[in-house]
C-alpha cells in the first residue's frame, strides 16, 4: 500500500517539476518510443536475408543514434522463419495490436510481404518493404513503401544487354513464384523485342528444389545462354549443378540477376562465378567511399560477413524512416510519415535513389557487372549502368 502510494506521489512530483519547467509534452514524447516491428527470416532456408537485415539496422543505429525527430526508435525484431505467410501475418498483427508498433519493416519474400499488407492497411502503419521484390507489392496497400528493388527493374537492362552483345537464343530459368514470374516475363518481352529468341521457359519450385533435372532440360535445349533468377540464398546450388551437369562445358553461357551471385554467397560459389555477367542495383564493390566504409563496417561487426543487397535495402529503410521522423518533428502518425516518405531522394551506398511519390516504389541505378577475382575472392565488378530505372510494371 505504501509502495503504491510512494510511486504515485513520485509520479505527481515529477509531473509537477516537468510542468514548472514547461517541458511535459517533450518529456512524454521522448519517453514514448516509436516502435518498429522488423519481421525477417532469422531461421530456415532464407536466414541469410534476416542476418543481413539485422546487421544493417544495428549498424544504422550505431552510426546515427537511436532516435530521430526527438523520438527514440525501438526495433522489435521477429523471426518469421521465411516460409509461412500465416506466421508473418500473425506476427504483423501482434506487433501492431499488442506491441503498438507504429511502423512495420523487413519482409524477406514476396508471399510474406503480401500476407502482411492488409494489416498495414487496417492499422494505418507504414510498411517498409526492404527485401521482397515482386512488382505488385506496393499496390497491395497504400501504406507500403519499398526500399529494395524489383526483379522487373533489374532484369530489363540485362535482357537488353544480352541482345546487344550477340546472344541470340536463351532459355529462362526462374523460381516459380512472384519475382521469378516477373523476371521471366520481362526477360522474354525485352529480349524478344530486341530480336532474341527464347527457346524455353523453365520454372523450378521455390521449396526444396532439385535443380539437376531442370538443368538437364536446359542442356538438351542447347541455348547460347541461360538466364537465371533464384532468390538470395539459392544461387550456390544452381551454379554447382550448372557446372556439374556440364552446361558451361557444353558452351552455354550463364547470365543472371544479382540475386544468384549474392555477395553473401560469393565465397561459397567460388570459381564457378568467373566471368558471369549479371545485373543488379548493388554490389559490395560498388566504387564509392561511402560504400567502402559501409562494407568494412558490416564486416567488422559481423565476423567478416560481406554486405549484400538485402542489407542495403534495410539500411536505406532505416534512412527513410529516420528522415521522415525528422520531417514530421517526431510525429509517427501513419499518414504523416507516408507523406514525408513519398518523393524522398538520397545518396545510398548503392548510388542515388528516390521513392517515387505516386507508386511508393524505388527508382535507382541498375548496374551491369562481371564476376572477377579481387584479391582472393570473386566480386561482381560493375562495368556499365542504366540510371533512374523505375519498376517497369509487369
| Interaction site with ligand PHB (CB under 6 A) | 109-110, 131-134, 178-179, 231-232, 259
Q: How many helices (H) and strands (E) does the chain have?
A: 13, 15
Residue 206 or 298: the one with the smaller Cβ distance to ligand PHB is 206
The Cα 39–Cα 88 span in angstroms is 7
The Cα 160–Cα 186 span in angstroms is 10
Residue 153 or 232: the one with the smaller Cβ distance to ligand PHB is 232
Residue 177 or 200: the one with the smaller Cβ distance to ligand PHB is 177
Residue 71 or 369: the one with the smaller Cβ distance to ligand PHB is 369
Minimum distance of ligand PHB from residue 309's CB (angstroms): 7
Contact between 126 and 143 (Cβ < 8 Å): yes
Contact between 307 and 286 (Cβ < 8 Å): no
Residue 41 or 69: the one with the smaller Cβ distance to ligand PHB is 41
- Taking alpha carbons only, the member of 197, 125, 212 closest to residue 163 is 197
User: Which strands sit side by side in the sheet containing 34-40, from one edge to the other?
Assistant: 67-68, 71-79, 34-40, 103-106, 127-129, 144-146
The Cα 62–Cα 313 span in angstroms is 17
Minimum distance of ligand PHB from residue 351's CB (angstroms): 19
β-bridge mates for residue 371, sequence order: 380
The Cα 223–Cα 342 span in angstroms is 43
- Taking alpha carbons only, the member of 284, 306, 282 closest to residue 148 is 282
- At residue 65, the 3 state secondary structure works out as coil
Q: What does residue 13 show for φ and ψ, rounded to 5 degrees?
A: -65, -45
Minimum distance of ligand PHB from residue 266's CB (angstroms): 14
Residue 68 or 234: the one with the smaller Cβ distance to ligand PHB is 234
Minimum distance of ligand PHB from residue 373's CB (angstroms): 24
Residue 69 or 178: the one with the smaller Cβ distance to ligand PHB is 178
Residue 41 or 248: the one with the smaller Cβ distance to ligand PHB is 41
Residue 190 or 308: the one with the smaller Cβ distance to ligand PHB is 308
Per the listing, cell 560498388 goes with 286
Minimum distance of ligand PHB from residue 65's CB (angstroms): 30
Minimum distance of ligand PHB from residue 105's CB (angstroms): 15
Residue 46 or 322: the one with the smaller Cβ distance to ligand PHB is 46
How distant, in Å, are the alpha carbons of 196, 224, 336, 344 from that of 332? 50, 53, 7, 17
CA dihedral 388, 383, 51, 75 (to 10 degrees): -30
Minimum distance of ligand PHB from residue 315's CB (angstroms): 16
The Cα 297–Cα 63 span in angstroms is 10
Continuous H helices in 65-149: 85-97, 110-123
Amino acid at each position: 500500500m505504501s509502495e503504491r502510494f510512494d510511486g504515485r506521489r513520485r509520479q505527481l512530483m515529477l509531473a509537477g517539476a516537468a510542468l514548472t519547467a514547461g517541458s511535459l509534452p517533450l518529456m512524454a514524447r521522448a519517453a514514448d518510443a516509436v516502435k518498429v516491428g522488423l519481421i525477417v527470416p532469422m531461421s530456415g532456408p532464407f536466414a541469410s536475408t534476416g542476418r543481413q537485415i539485422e546487421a544493417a539496422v544495428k549498424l544504422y543505429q550505431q552510426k546515427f543514434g537511436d532516435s530521430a525527430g526527438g523520438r527514440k526508435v525501438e526495433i522489435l525484431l521477429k523471426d518469421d522463419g521465411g516460409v509461412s505467410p500465416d506466421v508473418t501475418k500473425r506476427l504483423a498483427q501482434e506487433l501492431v495490436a499488442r506491441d503498438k508498433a507504429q511502423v512495420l519493416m523487413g519482409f524477406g519474400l514476396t508471399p510474406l510481404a503480401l500476407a502482411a499488407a492488409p494489416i498495414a492497411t487496417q492499422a494505418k502503419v507504414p510498411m517498409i518493404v526492404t527485401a521482397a521484390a515482386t512488382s505488385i507489392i506496393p499496390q497491395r496497400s497504400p501504406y507500403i513503401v519499398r526500399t529494395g528493388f524489383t526483379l522487373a527493374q533489374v532484369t530489363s537492362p540485362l535482357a537488353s544487354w544480352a541482345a546487344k552483345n550477340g546472344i541470340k537464343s536463351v532459355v529462362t530459368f526462374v523460381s516459380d513464384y512472384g519475382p521469378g514470374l516477373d523476371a521471366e516475363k520481362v526477360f522474354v518481352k525485352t529480349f524478344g523485342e530486341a530480336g532474341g529468341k527464347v527457346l524455353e521457359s523453365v520454372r523450378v519450385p521455390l521449396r526444396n528444389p532439385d535443380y539437376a533435372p531442370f538443368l538437364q532440360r536446359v542442356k538438351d535445349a542447347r541455348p547460347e545462354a541461360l538466364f537465371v533468377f533464384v532468390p538470395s540464398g539459392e544461387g550456390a546450388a544452381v551454379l554447382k549443378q550448372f557446372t556439374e551437369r556440364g552446361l558451361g562445358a557444353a558452351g552455354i553461357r550463364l547470365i543472371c540477376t544479382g540475386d544468384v551471385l549474392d555477395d553473401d554467397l560469393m565465397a561459397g560459389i567460388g570459381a564457378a562465378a568467373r566471368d558471369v555477367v549479371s545485373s543488379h542495383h548493388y554490389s559490395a564493390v560498388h566504387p564509392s567511399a561511402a560504400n567502402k566504409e559501409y562494407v568494412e563496417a558490416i564486416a567488422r561487426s559481423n565476423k567478416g560477413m560481406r554486405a549484400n543487397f538485402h542489407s542495403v535495402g534495410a539500411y536505406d529503410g532505416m534512412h527513410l524512416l529516420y528522415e521522415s521522423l525528422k520531417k514530421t518533428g517526431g510525429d509517427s502518425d501513419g499518414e504523416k510519415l507516408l507523406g514525408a516518405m513519398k518523393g524522398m531522394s538520397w545518396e545510398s551506398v548503392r548510388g542515388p535513389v528516390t521513392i517515387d511519390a505516386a507508386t511508393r516504389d524505388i527508382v535507382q541505378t541498375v548496374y551491369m557487372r562481371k564476376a572477377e577475382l579481387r584479391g582472393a575472392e570473386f566480386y561482381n565488378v560493375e562495368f556499365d549502368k542504366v540510371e533512374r530505372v523505375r519498376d517497369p510494371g509487369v
